Amino acid sequence: MPESSYFNLENEEVLKILREIKESPELTQREIATRLGISVGKANFLIKSLIGRGFVKASNFKNSNNKVSYLYVLTPQGMEAKARATYRFLRQKMEEYERLQAEIQRLAQEVRESGIPPDVPQ
């Protein structure tokens, strides 16, 4: 099944939703959206996409206000997808960190060579 550009397992928001669901399966879509800083519509779309791909299962339950709510649970495929996405995200962040470190060192060297006071990190 081809993934649209809007839904992609490499999307950081998808990984964050998988993490939220794993940590707090009772959260509503509105609560997930608020935690991630995205619209409820986007959270709904991403969660439905995860359900459609078999990564998340939704079950009905009665919450403390005696209202019917959904409980979102990661399936075994969802756990695997989360692990793979976490690995890719970690690798990407480590590469970004290394590039940033190199850039900081280059900038610090330029500042030192310019004669500006030595309070710049070595």
Instruction: Convert the pLDDT of each residue in 11-39 to its tens digit.
Output: 889 999 999 999 999 999 999 999 999 99
Q: Please state, in angstroms and rounded to a whole number, the distance separating the CA atoms of residues 111 and 20.
A: 43
pLDDT surpassing 70 at residue 71: yes
pTM recorded for the entire structure: 0.74
Q: What is the pLDDT of residue 111?
A: 87
Domains of the chain: 12-114 (1.10.10.10)
Q: What are phi and psi of 120, to 5 degrees?
A: -80, 140
Q: What is the pLDDT of residue 19?
A: 96
Cross-strand pairs, 69: 61
With H, G, I as helix, E, B as strand and everything else as coil, classify residue 74: strand
Asked if 50 and 13 count as a contact pair (C-beta separation under 8 A), the reply is no
pLDDT digits (tens, 9 = 90+) for 81-117: 999 999 999 999 999 999 999 999 999 899 889 887 7
pLDDT surpassing 70 at residue 63: no
